[in-house]
Copies of this chain bind each other. A is one copy, B any other.
Amino acid sequence: MPTPEQWKLWRQKRSWYERNSSRSRSRRLDRHAAEGGFFVRRPHEGEMLDGLDEGRVSVGEGTLFEPGCWVTLGPRAEIRIGEGCFLNRNVMLASVELIEIGDHTMFANGCVVGDGEHRYDDPEVPITWQGFKPRGPVRIGSNCWLGVNCVITGGVTIGDRAVVGANSVVTEDVPAGTIAVGAPAKIIREIDFKGSGSGN
């Protein structure tokens, strides 16, 4: 049987890990959403509420977070999301510096965008205590479509109306109007926009 001290520690962990389920935090997040015209389905993980309170997170009108999204950011990091975006189930945004997303961009289930990475190069310290190092801001344009389980790493810029294939890992820039697939992702072609003179 756990000791009273063990239960006390367990309860402290529970209130920290489940903080976003508290009535007061939940209501505050909905207030931001109602005011900004966006919507956050639950469960929702991370520090989006704190970032909204402090002005380090902004979310445009009409943007939707499906259940299971996890938005996390370091103490000085920013996340800027435009209007009319869709973040489907289990999408994660993890910012140590800056993640910028334009308008009407769609993230399929399970996409992960992170502008930093865990440090792992100190052989004496547990990796979980080494913190994150920034790899440069991530900028994703407007009207992009990121397929299922895409991973976008630090320092990457994705141009407007680009498409990224499912299960890709994007480690280099993707120009506007192109399609990239694979791990690491490579550009496979330009999109033939209707009426652009270049295609059907």
Between A and B, 10 residue pairs with Cβ closer than 8 Å are: A7-B34, A10-B30, A10-B34, A104-B128, A104-B129, A112-B148, A120-B145, A123-B177, A127-B144, A128-B143
Q: Establish whether residues A145 and B123, one from each chain, have CB atoms under 8 Å apart when the complex forms.
A: no
B89 touches A106 (CB 8 A): no
A123 touches B10 (CB 8 A): no
Question: In whole angstroms, what is the CA distance A193 to B123 when docked?
Answer: 6
CB–CB A41/B70 < 8 A: no
A67 at the interface (CB under 8 A from B): yes
A13 contacts B by Cβ under 8 Å: yes
Cβ of A64 within 8 Å of any chain B Cβ, yes or no, is: yes
A9 to chain B, nearest CB (A): 7
Copies of this chain assembled into the complex: 3
Residues A128 and B6 in contact, CB atoms below 8 Å apart: no
Q: Tell me the smallest distance from the CB of A166 to a CB of chain B, in Å.
A: 4
A127 touches B110 (CB 8 A): no
A149 contacts the other chain (CB 8 A): yes
Complex CA gap A102/B92 in Å reads 26
Q: Does A118 contact B (CB under 8 A)?
A: yes
Q: Which residues of B contact A149 (CB under 8 A)?
A: 110, 148-149, 151, 167
Residue of B nearest to A170 (CB): B166
Report whether B90 and A128 are in contact in the complex, using a CB–CB cutoff of 8 Å: no
Whether the pair A43, B67 counts as a contact (CB closer than 8 A) is yes
B84 engages A161 (CB within 8 Å): no
Residues of B within 8 A of A192 (CB): 121
Question: What distance in Å separates the Cβ of A13 from its nearest Cβ neighbour in chain B?
Answer: 5
Contact at A194–B148, with CB atoms within 8 Å? no
- Is A118 within 8 A of B143, CB to CB? no
Q: Which residue of B lies closest to A200 (CB)?
A: B121
Q: Please state if A17 and B64 are interface contacts (CB–CB under 8 Å).
A: yes
